[in-house]
Copies of this chain bind each other. A is one copy, B any other.
Amino acid sequence: MPLWLESDDPSFAEAFQRFLGLKREVEEDVDQAVAAILADVERRGDAALLEYTARFDRMNIPKERLRISEEEITSAETQVPQDERRALELAAARIRAYHEKQLPRDESWQDESGATLGWRWTAVEAAGIYVPGGLASYPSSVLMNAIPARVAGVDRLVMVVPTPDGVLNPLVLLAARLAGVDEIYRVGGAQAVGALAYGTETIAAVDKITGPGNAYVAAAKRRVFGRVGIDMIAGPSEILVVADADNDTDWIACDLLSQAEHDESAQSILITDDAGFARSVERAVETRLSTLEREDIARRSWEDYGAIFVTPSLEEAARLTNIIAPEHLELCVGDPDALSSKIRNAGAIFLGAWTPEAIGDYVGGPNHVLPTSRTARFSSGLSVLDFMKRTTLARMTPASLAAVGPAAETLARSESLQAHGLSVRCRLDRINEASR
């Protein structure tokens, strides 16, 4: 049974607090193992990478086969059915179009002192994308990670994907080709993250690593952070649906289950201002659940972490939503724009009942790599900006230096940083000499 809370119940505050504190992830203590693997890859390069690949992915390959060849990719492509290829192409085009709008502008202006100020954005030179193997090997994730990097203008885009027992997912390779990935290596785990961060004889180091992975991959990303940039460390997926009573209960049930089926730690939440509607959705979920191929996973998720909150108003629903700060938020209400304007914390908002969250996973255009576990309070989904960095620019004239330099000198003195002051003073002296 999912959690059921009514927000005008006297015990609500306490129960809601408990709900917020719920841990959905077992933290595996893999940090020591990961540290050893990373150090080994840094020291021994390809040799270590090949050994770990033999051990963990049961693949004994020579280093010449680390990289997946163009021929293999082309041959994989031919195995992809036409409708899947066309669907991937549509997704890629829509994701590209959305992300192109994110390209930031450079700025430059002159202030009243005559100084020229501004900034300039540039792309990261080399980026690496981690793609999980096995069941969680999603071609849509390849598009969502690779396309923003390409749009940003990354020069060299590398992908690593483990192929346990040599099994490749043709759709993942096709997605990589459509997204414009330059190099693909059949390695995974902490060892692949180490190769991307430190470089080996075969895999040149990158500047930024993104993409989801298991506990080993997450721990490795945390450890190499600083040496290279990383994206967020993603937790289990979540959806929050705010729905009024004017909704098809089956639609809402399907939406809740589309998160629950991801994995047992996923979380689906319904907030509604109508208790009767909530009961009907609960029954609809039961009906749909028993038809699902992934019934076991979805049922575990729904029963362990699912929640239904009944509120006296949609305003109260918005207030709770902002505290939960969900990864995905559906607003299935009469005026979704009005309700959306009350939302401050959410990774992605899906407006109106005609916008199921699954559209955002594939073909909507926005990125599906989004902040989980309440981190939408302070972070954003993956974007073109994650593959760029900003350099600030300043150019003083003698006049502007004369105007603001003395204040810099004063502050340098107050911070006991004499040479800071001298670097301004020696120039001000020149200006004074010249004006004499």
**Which residues from chain A sit less than 8 Å from chain B, CB to CB?**
83-84, 86-88, 90-91, 94, 97-98, 101-102, 107, 109, 111, 115-117, 119, 122, 124-125, 135, 138-140, 171, 207-208, 226, 228-229, 233, 248, 250-251, 254-255, 257-258, 260-262, 288, 292-294, 298, 336-337, 340, 343-367, 370-371, 373, 375-381, 383, 385, 389-398, 400-401, 404-408, 410-412, 414-424, 426-427, 430
List of 9 A-B pairs having minimum Cβ-Cβ separation, nearest first: A229-B378, A366-B392, A351-B395, A87-B407, A254-B423, A87-B410, A358-B420, A257-B419, A356-B423
Tell me, in angstroms, the Cα distance from A351 to B102 when the chains sit together: 28
CB distance from A432 to the nearest CB of B (A): 14
Residue from A111, A363, A381, A423 having most chain B Cβ neighbours under 10 A? A423
Q: How many copies of this chain?
A: 2
Tell me whether A412 and B101 are in contact in the complex, defined as CB-CB below 8 angstroms, given that A354-B401, A355-B395, A397-B354 are known contacts.
no
Tell me, in angstroms, the Cα distance from A389 to B376 when the chains sit together: 7
Instruction: Find chain B residues with CB under 8 A from A348 CB.
Output: 391-394
Contact of A359 among B226, B393, B404 (CB under 8 A): B404
Residue of B nearest to A374 (CB): B227
Contact of A419 among B135, B261, B380 (CB under 8 A): B261
Tell me whether A412 and B358 are in contact in the complex, defined as CB-CB below 8 angstroms, given that A98-B117, A226-B233, A351-B393 are known contacts.
yes
Tell me, in angstroms, the Cα distance from A385 to B53 when the chains sit together: 40
Cross-chain contact B378 with A124 (CB below 8 angstroms): yes
Cross-chain contact B254 with A352 (CB below 8 angstroms): no
Known A288-B422, A358-B421; 7 more pairs at CB < 8 Å: A116-B351, A124-B378, A140-B411, A258-B423, A262-B417, A351-B395, A376-B391
Tell me whether A418 and B293 are in contact in the complex, defined as CB-CB below 8 angstroms, given that A87-B410, A375-B226, A404-B363 are known contacts.
yes
Instruction: Find chain B residues with CB under 8 A from A366 CB.
Output: 117, 119, 392-394
Tell me, in angstroms, the Cα distance from A101 to B105 when the chains sit together: 11
Tell me whether A87 and B396 are in contact in the complex, defined as CB-CB below 8 angstroms, given that A346-B391, A378-B389, A404-B359 are known contacts.
no
